[in-house]
Structure formats: structure tokens, C-alpha cells
Structure 1
Amino acid sequence: MEWIQSVLKQLTQWMQPYYSEIALTILATILVVYGDVINKHIKRMISPYHFVIRTTVFVLICAFGYGMLLIFATPFVKQFILWIPYLYRGVAVGMVFLLLGYLAEHRRYI
């Protein structure tokens, strides 16, 4: 039983310097998998407006909105990762990536 805790601690220790990158990767993957859903909702909301306004809003949201979301939400995801108990942090991150892979497969992205 002690060797399992040792392995879990080692896995968490290997990931420790990369929590910011891991948080960014999680958010970017979520945007890739569900970005088309977000874009459809935005398109539906701005469809009654003139072409120039629709294009401008869409470009601003895709170019700046998603980037700002990644920049500002990454620290919150990192804090959520740090909130997980140290022993289970590595496994939890691995499970999140497996879940994201499953969701991507379910939406036919892989």
C-alpha cells in the first residue's frame, strides 16, 4: 500500500512545475472540443444584425475573446488543481485529460 502512495506522490511531483501549462492545456482543449457550440450560440444571437456587425463581432470573439478567456481563466483552473489534495493531484489531472479525450471522441474530434 505504501508503494502506491509513493507512486502517486512521484507522479504529482513530476507534474508540479507544469501546473500553469496543464491548466492552459485543459482550457484550450475544452475550447477546441466545444468551440463550435459556442460559435453557434453567438451566431444565433447576432444573426439579425447587418453583415459587417456580425463579422466584426465574430472576429472579435474568436480572435480576442477566446484568448482573453484563456489568459484570465487559466489561474482559476490552476488554483482548482492546487485545491486537489497533493496525493491525488497527479491522478486527477490524468483523469481530466482522459475525460477530455472521451468527450472529444464522443464529439468525433479524434
Structure 2
Amino acid sequence: MNFITDLLLSLSGLIRPHLTFVSSALVATLLVIYGNDVNRAVWALIRRAHFIVRTLVFILLCAIGYGLIAVFLVPLVSRLLLMAGSVWFGLIVVLVFILVGWLAEKHSRRG
């Protein structure tokens, strides 16, 4: 059992220095997977609006909306991952990336 714990701690130690990048990658990937759905929903709400309004909404959504989502979610994801503790941190990160990959594959088959 001690070997497994040491292995998990080593994995966590390899990943922990890159926590900000890991969190950013997770948030960015989720935005890529679901961003088109958000864009379609917003488009459905404003499709009858004037061209200038649609353009401004699109700029606000992409530049400010997605930017703010990323800025606020990256630290939150980092804190959530750290809640796993030193032993389970690395394994949780790997499992979360597998989950995100599965979500991406499922979403790509849908559309």
C-alpha cells in the first residue's frame, strides 16, 4: 500500500507546479466544447435585433463574457483540485482530463 501512496504522491508532485496551466487548460477546453452552444443560445435571443446590436453583443460575449468566465473559473478550479489533498491530487487531475475528453467526444458526436 505504501508503494501506491508513494506513486500517487509522485504524480501529484509532478503536476502541482503546473496547477495554473492545468486549471486554465480545463476551463479553456470546457469553453471550447460548450462555447458554440452558448453562442447559439445568445444568437437565438438576439437574432431579430439590428446588426449593430448583434455585433456588440457578440463582442461583449466573446471578449468580456468568456474572458471573465476564464478569469474567475481558473482560480476556482485550482482550489477545487487542491481540495483533493496531496495523495489524490494527481489522480484526480488525470481523471478530470479523461472526463473532459469523454465530454468532448460525446459532444462532437452530438453535433
Residue 63 of structure 1 and its aligned partner are, at CA, apart by 2.0
User: What residue ranges of structure 1 are gaps of 5+ in the alignment?
Assistant: none
Report the equivalent of 1:21.
21
Determine if the alignment matches structure 1 residue 31 to structure 2 residue 18: no
Q: How high is the TM-score relative to the length of structure 2?
A: 0.91
Q: How high is the TM-score relative to the length of structure 1?
A: 0.92
* Deviation digits for residues 42-80 of structure 1 (CA, Å, limit 9, x no counterpart): 111222321210111012211222112111221111111
* Deviation digits for residues 61-105 of structure 1 (CA, Å, limit 9, x no counterpart): 112221121112211111111111221110000001001111111
**Greater displacement, 29-38 / 67-76:** 67-76
Deviant stretches of 4+, over 3 Å? none
Identity of aligned residues (%): 35
Q: How does 1:1-110 map to 2 (within 5 A)?
A: 1-108=1-108
User: What residue ranges of structure 2 are gaps of 5+ in the alignment?
Assistant: none
- Residue type matched to 1:87 in 2? V
CA distance in 2, matches of 1:45, 1:18: 39
Residue 31 of structure 1 and its aligned partner are, at CA, apart by 0.3
CA distance in 1, matches of 2:64, 2:71: 10
